[in-house]
Amino acid sequence: MVDLILTFLGLILPVVGRCIPPDGDPAFCPRPSATRIPPRTSVSGAVDPPGSYRARTGTQAQPLVPYAYAFVKAPAPTYRTPEDALNGGSPRRVFPGGYVWVSVHGRVEAGGKVFYQINKDEYMEASYLAFGAPSSFQGMAFSTPPTRPFGWIVQATQPSEEPGRAPPPKAPTLPRYTPITVEEIRHVGEQKWYRIGPDQWVKEQAVGLVFPTRPPAGIPPGAKWIEVNLYEQTLAAYEGDRLVYATLISSGRARTPTVTGLFRIQVKARTTLMDGDIFGYYYLEDVPWTMFFYQGYALHGAYWHDRFGLPQSRGCVNLAPIDARWLFEWAEPYGDAHFVRATPDNPGTWVWVHQ
């Protein structure tokens, strides 16, 4: 009998191998270290959201996601037990080539090899897995609703001293996710420029903005509603006319656009499997904090990339894990079950998706 040592590690698992994205785009692979979160002091009224998952001095940081997740370097066989793999048994299944991520629940050492448990009675050799680091980006909650457009830098940029001019050679570079407030807007030809500070102008392509607004026609007064701005790649959550939360998203790419219109959340799932073959096979286990609002379109956490503020998905609205959890707990329908379906007595929050 092979001696098995099973260790359940929660979310603390070693990085094994290197993430190799299927189409050669390195941005598909999460970064090996946590995202730098710039200070948010430049946006008036912004506060850390209730239940914030930022690490704080003297407190224990909470996990960003429900599980550890790993990219699968396919083709990759799985087995019911490590012994089956070591003894040449038949695989339980073989993951084909594509964009495949699995959730990991335990670590097994057997026969001089390391295996990871990815489901009940399903194990995979460590060499087939590359562990990712989910984005730690986080949006903004508001105690006082902002009155001016605000947002984030989405492409690292050097600000110019005047609109339409090149930045000075020694101008500081504003990193991705730097929060900004728009103080002035100018057009130079067809190019839009935003002033975000004294003698600091940036092109619109470098930012993702939220423009505080009122609910569209069809949403009753005082109701909760979510605005998804596909042009800006931002999301804003409102209670009536009051903006309470905002963040960056990643919507569908040009080949797989996100549906537009006015919808309501139909089903909430704390985690769910997403798979398909839309411009390539994909398989994503335990996608966290998912809220379906139209057919297969959903708002959900994305643990597999850190490109928020840029289109990235196959049609859904991707959120950083912290934002997805906040939105999931805030939005209707309410309920503690793993799956919660909207009903006439417990309707879903409105979702307005537009360009």
Lowest-confidence region among 29-43, 182-196, 319-333 = 29-43
Residues 153, 125: one domain? no
Do 246 and 288 fall within a single domain? yes
Specify whether 184 is located in the same domain as 232. no
> How many structural domains are present in the chain?
3
Give the domain extent around 318: 224-354
Q: In the numeric block, which tokens belong to residue 111?
A: 């026969």
CATH number of the domain at 278, please: 2.40.440.10
Residue 329 or residue 14, greater confidence? 329
Q: What is the pTM (predicted TM-score) of this model?
A: 0.85
Identify the pLDDT of residue 62: 72
pLDDT tens track for 116-138: 999 999 999 999 999 999 999 99
Mean pLDDT of all residues in 248-255? 97
Asked if the model's pLDDT at residue 21 lies above 60, the reply is no
Q: Which residues pair with 340 in a beta bridge?
A: 268
Q: Domain boundary at 131, 165, 188, which?
A: 131
Please indicate, yes or no, whether residues 155 and 232 belong to a single structural domain of this protein. Answer: no
Q: Which pLDDT band, with edges at 50, 70 and 90, does 61 fall under?
A: low
Average of per-residue pLDDT values in the chain: 87
Q: Which of 159, 185, 210 is the last residue of a domain?
A: 210
Mean pLDDT of the region 213-219: 97
Examine the domain organization and report whether 123 and 242 are in the same domain.
Answer: no
Maximum Cα interatomic distance, the chain, rounded to a whole number of Å = 75
Query: Looking at beta carbons, which pairs linking 83-86 to residues 24 or more positions away fall under 8 Å?
Result: 83/2, 83/4, 83/110, 85/115, 85/123, 85/125, 86/2, 86/110, 86/111, 86/113
Query: Range with the lowest mean pLDDT among 46-60, 159-173, 174-188?
Result: 46-60
For residue 314, tell me if it sits in a domain: yes
Residues 279 and 322 in one domain: yes
Q: Are 163 and 231 found together in one domain?
A: no
* Same domain membership, residue 123 and residue 174: no
In angstroms, what CA-CA distances link 318 with 228, 251, 309? 11, 6, 10
